Structure 1
Amino acid sequence: MEAKEASNKKKYDRKRIKISSKRQITIPAKYYDALKIDKEMECIYTEGMLILLPIRNEKSEFAEEILKDLINQGYSGEELLKEFKRISRNVRPAVEKMIEEADNLAKKVAEDYVDYTADIFDQE
């Protein structure tokens, strides 16, 4: 049971990055690649944290995935259009729920954050 509980825990990766004199940062390649970042990111400030989210054209990405799935299920013609419209209406609430879950995770990370500065510099 302990292994199952451990696998259910959310994992996050952490890396210290430098800020240039022009207030610029470099996103580590492994994060950049994993997030499939293009040319822009959304920057959110909340609870003393910055959250960077890749900007994507979600509408077209979701539309393509929805259409692909519906075609694989055998839909075509008017049936395909009707089912596509029905499912498309649910995309925005699903994205909003994902954003809410990301916000909750960010709050949890902030709550669990431990500042080791005093330990490093032998200050009490």
Structure 2
Amino acid sequence: MEAQGLKERALLMEVDKPTKRMKISPNHQMTIPTEFYEKAGFTDEAIVQFDPIGRRLIVKPAIQNPGFDFSEDILRDLIKKGLQGEELLHAFQKAKQEVPNAMKQLLADEREMAHKAPQKPEDMSLDDFLDSLPDDEEPSGKNVK
């Protein structure tokens, strides 16, 4: 039944979406219609994923590190430390180079925490599993029940 619900939602998502039939060249190339290209915000690169369930390609604009530019935060911290001129520039360059490794470490830490998290036994309902977990506090300070 759950798969049927997903299929119905996927079909509903397709309603009212503009579509175009496109030719595929002998080199397996397609041209993105201008209307779609502009609305999606493409530039000179794209990300392509294959959805094996829907047997479709998902093409998205390639955005360089969306949401991961910490330049302003780094500069604010360095300026608060009193750095300026060449000293500020060198400290900024060093800190900016450390961001990818810090993000990788953060991701590794989160994965480790996820592996340590309690797992729901297959024969237990989700409600029973959630009831068996200790109450956490939500950010608002209210207890989850």
TM-score, length-normalised on structure 1? 0.45
Tell me which structure has the larger Cα radius of gyration.
Answer: 2
Name whichever structure is richer in helix by fraction: 1
Give the structure, 1 or 2, with the largest relative contact order (CA under 8 Å, sep 6 or more).
1
TM-score, length-normalised on structure 2? 0.39
